[in-house]
Each structure stands twice: as structure tokens, then as C-alpha cells.
Amino acid sequence: MHHLKDSFKHKGKRKILIAALKEMGINDDRILKAFDQVPRHFFLDLAFDEQAYTNMAFQIGSGQTISHPFTVAFQTQLLELSKGDKVLEIGSGSGFQTCILAALGVKVFSIERHKELHRKAKLMVDYFRFPARLFFGDGYQGKKAYAPYDRILVTCGAPEIPNELLQQLKNGGILVIPVGDGAEQKMLKIKKDLNGQISQEEYGTFKFVPMLERKVR
């Protein structure tokens, strides 16, 4: 928490990143505004400060990464969020995506299986005073206690769609999840209609760290 300074230089670089995200097809102004409100360099080691606003992923410890800004913005846009939505996030990671969601005025419930990352993400969420709720545990299981959710976001590559998550998705809800066994995953947007029928759309190929079932550290 020692380097939470937001300089003119940071702000300038952030504006350039936001313009680049717009060029890449992020057209929801609320998301672009959230990227301006939540300084990404706060979530990175000081060593990465200079590159914080490039479209790159970085190591954040525990073998995990903070996703490319475009990936965060793209997944968020696929969720089609409305203010007040109840959102379950699987993989808090650095807490950056959690804070972007919270900045959009949704109720976030986020799960992380690495104790150290969970602790750090919680510090960041508290720093911004976002009312998000963070839990340490196995994302495969979702969080039944607060189900059903309007939206579910998975920020790690899953070998398949966990059934628990589909069950915890509200009728009329959307689940965004990268699915695939190898080095790359297909970004899926899964919709559950008002009768509980499931349909899915595919949105290109991405690279995520794997989602490991029943592994909490």
C-alpha cells in the first residue's frame, strides 16, 4: 500500500489506455469511466509502475496474473451490467476486476483460492471503500449462501462450465467464462432465459491462468 500515489503522469497514461480500449471496441462509457476511477498501478508491484497502463498482463504472485486491461474491459462489457445487479466473481486475483465491477455500482461477491491474494485484494477493496464482499475458498463451488446471481464472471480458464455456477445463476442471468483445457480458452457468454434454458455465444480466444478445482492455498 506504500505506493498509492496517482500522479499527473499516471492520469495521462490512463487517458491514453482508455482511448486505446475505445479503439478496440469497448464502447460502454461506464466501463471506461471505471477504468479512470480505479488506477491500475495501485494493484501492481512498484517494478511494473511504468508499464501499468500498457495492454499487458503482469505477475501478481502465487503464480497468478492481473489480466490485460482489454480482457478486463471486454469481460465486463459482455456481462451487460445494470446498477444494483448481484455479481459473483470467481478469482479476485489482485482485486482490480473486483474494483472495476464495484465502481459500476453492482453488488460484488468475489472468491479467491490463494490466501495471500485474497488478503491483498481485500486491502485494495477496503482502500477504495467499495462495499464488495470477498471470500477465501474454492470458486468451483460458487457461493451458494448468496445465490442466485444476476451475473457471474469467471476470471480464470476453466476446463468446462462448472455446474454449480449454472445452478447459482438467476433465470434471465448471464455467465461469462473462458473455457478450454490448453494454453488458450474460448470466451463464452452463457445466457439463462426466464424459463431456465441455457444458450451460449462465443467471443474469440484468450489466455488465462487455469481454474483449479478444490485447490485452496
Length of the chain, please?
217
**How far is the C-alpha of 168 from the C-alpha of 153, rounded, in Å?**
12
Distance of CA 204 to the CA centre of its chain: 17
Marked catalytic residue, from 62, 67, 82, 92: 67
The DSSP code sequence of 39-87 is: -GGGGS-GGGGGGTTSS--EEEETTEEEPPHHHHHHHHHHT---TT-EE
Distance of CA 96 to the CA centre of its chain: 7
Catalytic status, residue 199 = no
Active site residues: 67
